[in-house]
Amino acid sequence: MIVDLPDTTSAKISKALVRIREDGGAVALGRVLTLVIATELGNEEEAIAAANDASREHPMRVLVVSTSTTEGARNEKARVDAQIRVGGDAGASEVIVVTAHGDAALDQESLVTGLLLPDAPVVAWWPGEAPASASESPLGRIAQRRITDAAASANSLAAMHRMCESYVPGDTDFAWTRLTLWRAQLAAVLDQPPYEPITAVTVSGAADSPSTLLLAAWLQMQLKVEVSLNVADGSPVPTGIHSVVLERKSGTIKLERNVASIATLTQPDQPVHDISLPRRSLRDCLAEELRRLDPDSLFGHVVRRGVSEITASREAASRKAKI
């Protein structure tokens, strides 16, 4: 069911939710958190679809705050339109899309404060361009967890470095979430004999891949060995991570993704294995991040210390090569 509320207020939206609850029974109850999605006007549906899919694992209220940053939009008359989606149009959640025009878009916090579930955690998600400091933004201040996606930014590496500078516990980024399968596979390989120390590591990926940077930083921290970061656009897979090469006394381990969803694992004295390693969907990334509402301490260590260390190593190697 979809209910449109043109030129409305937060109070009127709340009253409409109460009416829907009375008419439909417990349709608006049983939610475990509020997910606040901040999007550019016209880009809401992909994020809503991902939230609807994730809601089958995490029943929640989804508040979508849609605004426009264009000059013409800022000059519009202040107005708030809303749409409420429940039932089959909202998965296992209830979706409230709030579209703010003109000066009404300037205070996003006031748009959602009266619509948050009482006594429930708040998670804020920016599926596109995120603020320079998520925790200091109007929506970030009211959220226990703040999710960004550096890969969705116009300059993804610059967005990742801003995250490293502004990180506070509770922040996370889908560039890290997309590493889960890679990290699990590499950990499984190193958990098998022979248990020899790794002597060298090379991580390769697309030049604009923040996930490649984070994976290199994580490996350098965990393995206590300098990691070579090789960024290029020559791989058959144009985006993301291309390969990880681990060197040890008994030989070379190589995990390489040459097609979109399959990686090849090569190890000394073992047959070559093809492993499913697809690029994770928005739904998968969102569902994983919603499984924990406490700060991800490992991600914090990687962005606060690991990224600066790998960046310093690359700069030192570049200076040495020029000598």
Question: What is the rounded distance in angstroms from the CA atom of residue 304 to the CA atom of residue 299?
Answer: 8
Residue ranges covered by each domain of the chain: 2-173, 174-323
Residues 6+ apart with CB under 8 A from 152: 127, 128, 129, 174
Pairing of strands 227-231, 241-248: unpaired
Q: Are 282 and 178 in contact (CB under 8 A)?
A: no
CB 53 within 8 A of CB 91: yes
Contact 197, 248 (CB under 8 A): yes
Structure tokens at 299: 């991600």
Task: Tell me if 49 sits within 8 A of 154, measured CB to CB.
Answer: no
CATH number assigned to the domain with residue range 174-323, chosen from the 4 options 3.30.70, 3.40.1350, 3.30.360, 3.40.1130: 3.30.360
Tokens read off for 99: 């579209």
| pTM exceeding 0.85 | yes
Q: How far apart are alpha carbons 262 and 283 in whole angstroms?
A: 20
Three-state SS for 219?
helix
pLDDT per position in the chain (323 positions), as tens?
899 999 999 999 999 988 888 876 545 456 889 999 999 999 999 999 999 999 988 899 999 999 987 766 667 889 999 999 988 766 768 999 999 999 888 889 999 999 999 999 999 999 999 999 999 999 999 999 999 999 999 999 999 999 999 999 999 999 999 999 999 999 999 999 999 999 999 999 999 999 999 999 999 999 999 999 998 766 666 789 999 999 999 999 999 998 889 999 999 999 999 999 999 999 999 999 999 999 999 999 999 999 999 988 777 777 776 66
